[in-house]
Structure 1
Amino acid sequence: MADQAIEVGHPPDAVLRVVNSVLRRVLPTPLGAPIGEFMLVGFTGRKTGKRYSTPVSAHRLDGDLYVVLEAPWKVNFRDGADATVSYRGKTSTMRGVLIAERSTVADVVQRLASSYGAKKAQRMMGLKFPGGRVPTSEEWGEAVDRLGIAAIKLTAKA
C-alpha cells in the first residue's frame, strides 16, 4: 500500500543469495572484523532440530546487540535460545531472546532508525520508508503489527 510509512525492502533474492554466501564464509574469520554492520547468527530450529546460520544486520543499542527482522525464523528465539554469533571477526555463544511486544519493539526500532537516519536505517533494517523520513513511534507500532517486525536481543551467555 502506498500510504504506509514502512514497507519491507529487501534486495532481490538472487542478490541476497550471493551476498549471504560470502558473508557466511567471511564473518567468522578475522576478515569479518571490519564488517561491523553484519553478524552471523547460528541457531537450532525448535521443531526441526536443524542447524541454521543466517547473516543479519547487527544493531547496537544501549550497549546491547540486536537483530531486527520480520522473518519467520524469529520464533526459534521465543523462549530464549543459545546462538553462535560471529561479529567483528569473533565468534561467541550468546543467548537470544525474542522481543515481540508491540510497544517494546516499536521503541527499539524507532530509536535505532533515529540513530541511523532514514537512508541508513532503510538499508540496515531491510525496510523502505516511502516518505523518506524516519517513521514515528506510532507508525512503527502499526508496522510491527502489520509486518510482524520483532527484535532478538543477544546477550553474553553466563
Structure 2
Amino acid sequence: MSFDLVAQIVVGVLGVLSASVPLLGNRQDRKTLQSDLRQDLDLLTRMPDGDLKRRFEQHATRTMDELEAARDRRRDPFGITLAICFIAFSTLGGIWAINAGGWWLWSLILVAFAFTLGAGGLAQDMSKKKRDAKGRPVE
C-alpha cells in the first residue's frame, strides 16, 4: 500500500471525525428525562390542590417509571468494539484486495460479508436495550 493512499484515508477519516464532533453537542445542554422530572416536581410543589395537581402527579409518576426503565437499558461495549474491528479490517482488506487486483478481487466477497456482519452487529449493539450479563438483548 502506498503512502499516498494511506494519507488520503487518514485525511478522510479525520475529516469525518472532525465534522461529527459538533453533532455530539454539549452534554450539559441536553434535555433528559431526569431534568424533565426535576422541573415537573418543582412545578408540582407550587401547584394548588385540585384535579389538575392529581393529573400532574400521575404524569410525574409515569415519568419516574420511564426513568427507572431507562436505567436498565444499556449498550454492549464488547459487541461495539468487535463490530468496529470487523468494519475496519474488512475496509482495509477491501482496499488491499483492490490494489492487489487479479485473483485477489475474489476475496472481496468475504470482505463484503465481514463488513455486513460488522455493520449489523454495530446496529444491534449500539441500541440501548435491556441486556443480560453476557450482553445479549433480553425481552
Q: Could you say whether these structures have the same fold, taking a TM-score greater than 0.5 normalized by the shorter chain as the test?
A: no
Higher normalized contact order (CA 8 Å, seq sep 6+, divided by chain length):
1
Higher strand share: 1
User: TM-score w.r.t. structure 1 length?
Assistant: 0.21
Structure (1 or 2) with the larger CA radius of gyration: 2
